[in-house]
Amino acid sequence: MDHEGGGEKHEVGMSGPKKPKRSCVYWGMLLLRFLALCATVLATLIMSLNKESKTMVVATIGTNPINATVTAKFQNTPAFVFFVIVNSIASLYNLVMLLVDLFGYKFGFKGIKLLIMTVLDMGTVALVSAGTGAAASMAELGKKGNSHARWNKICDKFERYCDRGGGALIASLVGICLLMALNVMSTIAIHKNARAHQSISN
């Protein structure tokens, strides 16, 4: 009897201070979140620090050329400013969600937390996609120009500026892909939780 009673007490004791299991899916989502954070931070830093100055001939008086120093920087293009803003927001969001992923279980709202994160991830993907698309269109214009609108290309003069901008766009696209993968995993996790609760209730 003592043996059985002790066994029952042991089971109750084990179920009391039960800690959340850290599954492979959890660590996979955590890794994707961290990589997405790195990608958006990298995109923000590369674009915000992107600047190149060159001295070039802007006019000629007789035989004397007039030189001027021209600087290309992201602040000159609203699309690039928007790109930096949305990637900064995504970076802050990913950092907060990473902390919530690590410590949020203490508050005991697993299902709701996953649902909120999934919705916020969708919004972040949409926001960063909009900023990246706008920046990519301006980058294409800078690279090839537009003969119909008589807009000259600038990438033949500011090569490093354009290369760095392209690197920032690639980093942002990687961040979008990682967030989309994270969104898929979150949706699958919500579906599994819903099925588990349904089977328990039945």
**Domain contains 89:** yes
Closest by CA position to 40, among listed 97, 84, 99 = 84
**Domain contains 6:** no
**Domain contains 31:** no
User: Would you list the DSSP string of 23-88?
Assistant: -HHHHHHHHHHHHHHHHHHHHHHHHHT-EEEEEEEEEEETTEEEEEEEEEEGGG-HHHHHHHHHHH
Helix H or strand E encompassing 198: helix 159-201
pLDDT along the chain (202 residues), means of 10: 47 47 73 93 94 72 71 86 95 89 60 74 92 91 75 80 91 94 81 61 58
Closest by CA position to 95, among listed 167, 21, 40 = 40
**Domain contains 133:** yes
**Domain contains 99:** yes
Helix residue spans in 74-158 (DSSP H):
78-103, 110-144
**Domain contains 32:** no
What is the predicted pLDDT for the residue at 101?
75
**Domain contains 130:** yes
pTM: 0.76
What is the predicted pLDDT for the residue at 194?
59
Q: Residue 185: which domain range?
A: 44-196
**Domain contains 27:** no
What is the predicted pLDDT for the residue at 61?
73
